[in-house]
A and B are shown apart, each in its own frame.
Chain A
Amino acid sequence: METIIEIRSLTKRFGELTAVDHLDLTVAKGEIFGLVGPDGAGKTTTLRMLCGLMDPSEGSARVAGHDVARDSRAVKDQIGYMAQRFGLYQDLTVEENMVFYADLFGITGETRAQLTAQLLRMTRMEPFRTRPAGQLSGGMKQKLALMCTLLHRPRILFLDEPTNGVDPVSRRDFWAILYQLLKDGITIFMTTAYLDEAERCNRVGLMHKGKLIRCATPGAMKAETGSATLEGAFIQTIHAVDGATA
């Protein structure tokens, strides 16, 4: 299998605090990988480094064949990043936001028209194209944000808690779109606080205090700890690590 994300000893320090501590991980092309863990475990920081928004203090990462620190612009052309917080312009309409991002990624003319139409259809957002983003529901905002990251046909999608605060129906819709994208060969790297979402990933990585303490398929994790649920497996793993260091 082709490796598309390769992380070696990736570390980020903020003063005294080590937010991400010597993380090693590889993700294969076409995989959906979920990063889980308690708040403050370093998930968002990891994601930001992989997207070239932040430089690592130590270690390196290659995303789609490019070094994230040295070649962040090349990385940005290959990826779509959706921040945890809604990052689009509330006073611009759905369409204006999409046109803006299409321009930033150099998608113009016929390609843009086709892609925009296709995305609006896929997300069932066509009726709302002239509505200001600020007047959309939480679920629709997420869909809009997702569309804006997909306009340049990225090879990898980085999603930071994409369905946080979104109602269950919208979450189901959102996942339907993600599965569609996976079918088209995109790789998804996401963080999530919802364990039913983690369950849908090919593999999950459990982060705790900046370290990746476990990385396996959801099934393997449950089997190892003998828990019926992924939640139980995580809690046991975290306690085991805390117990060992204490």
Chain B
Amino acid sequence: MSYRRMRAVCIKELHHITRDSRSLALALLLPVLMLLLFGFALSLDVDRIPTMIYDQDQTAESRALVRQFEGSKFFEIRGMVGDYGAIERGIDRSRILMGVVIPRDYSRQLGAGREAQVQLLLDGSDSNTASIALGYAESLVRNYSLELRTLALNRRAGGHLAPPVDARLRVWYNSSLESKNYVVPGLIAVILQIIAALLTSLTIAREWEMGTMEQILSTPLRPAEMVLGKMFAYFAVGLADAGIAVLVGVFVFRVPFRGSLPLLAVSTCVFLFGALFWGIFISASARTQAAAYQMGILSSFLPAFLLSGFIYSIETMPWVIQVITYIIPARYVVTILKGIFLKGVGLSVLWGELGLLTLYALIVFVLTTRKLNQKLV
């Protein structure tokens, strides 16, 4: 290992980076664009569910239930209708997501102390939103019926009876349960993974295509020097991207930042090392820029997006997939970033993830050097 040769490669790469101002601008703007796009589009909050109500009963009791729906922030009443057809058309044309039908005997059943039924019609074509909407509607109706029952019991008993169990909810770390707070830190990790792989995935394939590799191979330059030199040049860009992404997260999305900045810096660096090495590895394997680009996107974007636990929680995946997620570095960095941003936890909790990221970087570095050690043909 010669520091001078490594530095020579690094300086040379920095020349390439700064001369190609269009690519550099893209590399620096891309994280902002992606963060804004995904950050706003990937809102997983389900509220103001467009709803129609068909009240067949038209009594004081049924209207009280309607008022419950009207008063909830989760539902937005798009109309009171007089038949099933209107609800059906509303769902077909995606104007509403849910229809509530209060049957004709609602108040009578209620008055008789029997179970009164309410029908909920849901657009299941978006099953995720539908099941969340169903949950809200069910709990609204259940709470309301419990309230009615307690009220009736109290009236009969003449005293005051508290509901049997009263859950007092307190959500930690993201108390407002806003999805952006957990989407954005994960998104930063995913974006860095993609950018890092894209930055470096072309760097060696380009040398093969341009014929500059053969000339370099005739010098005493060692593979490790080449890999490290290239990595550090792109590391500068990656670190700038990370800084931009964190600033956008904190100042544009107002995601709380509760943890330690140095820990964030260290974990980002370690993660970038691994991700940049991975890009170089792909580049060394592909030999053409087009193939390297595709492999870079596929191998970074898809796993980081789907298997990192950034949106889809790993705990609910089939166990085979869960096992696979252990080799996805984004998984660890998503945990680290969420931990630092939202929970404010430190090294005592995140050391395992950080250790695994370090291990990953080392393994990919060794693989890349091996790959480059091969001679022509």
A residues whose Cβ falls under 8 Å from a Cβ of B = 14, 48, 51-55, 72-73, 76-77, 79-83, 85-92, 96, 99-101, 103-106, 108, 145, 148-149
Q: Are A100 and B215 in contact (CB under 8 A)?
A: no
11 contacts between A and B (CB under 8 A): A73-B220, A77-B220, A81-B218, A87-B216, A89-B210, A91-B15, A92-B15, A92-B16, A96-B15, A99-B8, A103-B7
Whether B376 is near chain A, meaning CB under 8 Å from some CB there, is yes
Which one of B4, B5, B218, B376 contacts A79 once the chains associate, using CB atoms below 8 Å? B218
CB distance from A151 to the nearest CB of B (A): 10
Q: Per-residue 0/1 for B197-234: is the Cβ within 8 Å of any A Cβ (1 yes, 0 no)?
A: 00000000000001111111111110000000000000
Give chain A residues whose Cβ lies under 8 Å from the Cβ of B218.
51-53, 76, 79-81, 83, 149
Give chain A residues whose Cβ lies under 8 Å from the Cβ of B217.
53
Known: A87-B212, A89-B210. 5 other contacts (CB 8 A): A52-B375, A81-B218, A85-B211, A91-B20, A104-B220
Known: A54-B376, A89-B16, A91-B15. A100 touches B8 (CB 8 A): yes
How long is the Cα–Cα vector from A55 to B5 in the complex, in angstroms? 24
Nearest chain B residue, comparing its CB with the CB of A92: B15
Q: Are B211 and A53 in contact (CB under 8 A)?
A: no
Known: A53-B214, A73-B220, A92-B12. A103 touches B375 (CB 8 A): no
Q: Are B212 and A48 in contact (CB under 8 A)?
A: no
User: In terms of DSSP, what is the predominant structure of the interface of chain B?
Assistant: helix
Q: Are B5 and A104 in contact (CB under 8 A)?
A: yes
Give chain B residues whose Cβ lies under 8 Å from the Cβ of A91.
15-16, 19-20
Which one of A52, A81, A106 contacts B2 once the chains associate, using CB atoms below 8 Å? A106
Q: Are A53 and B376 in contact (CB under 8 A)?
A: yes
Whether B377 is near chain A, meaning CB under 8 Å from some CB there, is yes
Give chain B residues whose Cβ lies under 8 Å from the Cβ of A101.
219
CB distance from A141 to the nearest CB of B (A): 12
Known: A53-B214, A91-B20. A76 touches B219 (CB 8 A): yes
How long is the Cα–Cα vector from A53 to B221 in the complex, in angstroms? 12
Nearest chain B residue, comparing its CB with the CB of A101: B219
Q: Are B219 and A88 in contact (CB under 8 A)?
A: no
Q: Are B376 and A104 in contact (CB under 8 A)?
A: no
Q: Are A54 and B375 in contact (CB under 8 A)?
A: yes
Q: Are A14 and B211 in contact (CB under 8 A)?
A: no
CB distance from A216 to the nearest CB of B (A): 29
Q: Which of A76, A86, A103 has the most CB of B within 10 A?
A: A103
Which one of B11, B219, B375 contacts A55 once the chains associate, using CB atoms below 8 Å? B375
Q: Are A87 and B219 in contact (CB under 8 A)?
A: no
Which 9 A-B pairs have CB atoms at the shortest separation, nearest pair first?
A: A87-B215, A103-B8, A81-B218, A85-B211, A104-B219, A83-B214, A91-B19, A54-B376, A53-B376
Give chain A residues whose Cβ lies under 8 Å from the Cβ of B220.
73, 76-77, 104-106
* Number of A-B residue pairs at CB separation under 8 A: 81
Give chain B residues whose Cβ lies under 8 Å from the Cβ of A90.
210
Residues of B351-377 at the interface with A, using a CB-CB cut-off of 8 Å, are 375-377
Give chain A residues whose Cβ lies under 8 Å from the Cβ of B375.
52-55, 72
How long is the Cα–Cα vector from A81 to B220 in the complex, in angstroms? 12
Nearest chain A residue, comparing its CB with the CB of B4: A103
CB distance from B376 to the nearest CB of A (A): 5
How long is the Cα–Cα vector from A86 to B209 in the complex, in angstroms? 12
Which one of A54, A88, A96, A105 contacts B215 once the chains associate, using CB atoms below 8 Å? A88
Q: Are B214 and A104 in contact (CB under 8 A)?
A: no
Give chain A residues whose Cβ lies under 8 Å from the Cβ of B216.
87, 104
Q: Are B221 and A104 in contact (CB under 8 A)?
A: yes
CB distance from B109 to the nearest CB of A (A): 81
How long is the Cα–Cα vector from A86 to B210 in the complex, in angstroms? 8
CB distance from A147 to the nearest CB of B (A): 13
Which one of A53, A77, A103 contacts B5 once the chains associate, using CB atoms below 8 Å? A103
Nearest chain A residue, comparing its CB with the CB of B12: A100
Give chain B residues whose Cβ lies under 8 Å from the Cβ of A106.
2, 4-5, 220
How long is the Cα–Cα vector from A88 to B219 in the complex, in angstroms? 13
How long is the Cα–Cα vector from A81 to B215 in the complex, in angstroms? 7
Q: Are A87 and B20 in contact (CB under 8 A)?
A: no
Known: A104-B221, A105-B219. A86 touches B211 (CB 8 A): yes
Q: Are B4 and A14 in contact (CB under 8 A)?
A: no
Nearest chain A residue, comparing its CB with the CB of B18: A91
Give chain A residues whose Cβ lies under 8 Å from the Cβ of B215.
81-83, 87-88, 145, 148
Give chain B residues whose Cβ lies under 8 Å from the Cβ of A92.
12, 15-16
How long is the Cα–Cα vector from A88 to B7 in the complex, in angstroms? 18
CB distance from A27 to the nearest CB of B (A): 18
CB distance from A15 to the nearest CB of B (A): 10
How long is the Cα–Cα vector from A107 to B375 in the complex, in angstroms? 25
Give chain B residues whose Cβ lies under 8 Å from the Cβ of A51.
218
Give chain B residues whose Cβ lies under 8 Å from the Cβ of A89.
12, 15-16, 210, 212
Residues of B1-36 at the interface with A, using a CB-CB cut-off of 8 Å, are 2, 4-5, 7-8, 11-12, 15-16, 19-20
Give chain A residues whose Cβ lies under 8 Å from the Cβ of B211.
83, 85-87
How long is the Cα–Cα vector from A141 to B135 in the complex, in angstroms? 72
CB distance from B35 to the nearest CB of A (A): 30
Q: Are B212 and A88 in contact (CB under 8 A)?
A: yes
CB distance from A85 to the nearest CB of B (A): 4
How long is the Cα–Cα vector from A103 to B2 in the complex, in angstroms? 10
Q: Which of B4, B214, B215, B377 has the most CB of A within 10 A?
A: B215
Give chain A residues whose Cβ lies under 8 Å from the Cβ of B2.
106
Give chain A residues whose Cβ lies under 8 Å from the Cβ of B5.
103-104, 106
Give chain B residues whose Cβ lies under 8 Å from the Cβ of A96.
12, 15
Q: Are A85 and B15 in contact (CB under 8 A)?
A: no
CB distance from A187 to the nearest CB of B (A): 16
Give chain B residues whose Cβ lies under 8 Å from the Cβ of A88.
212, 215
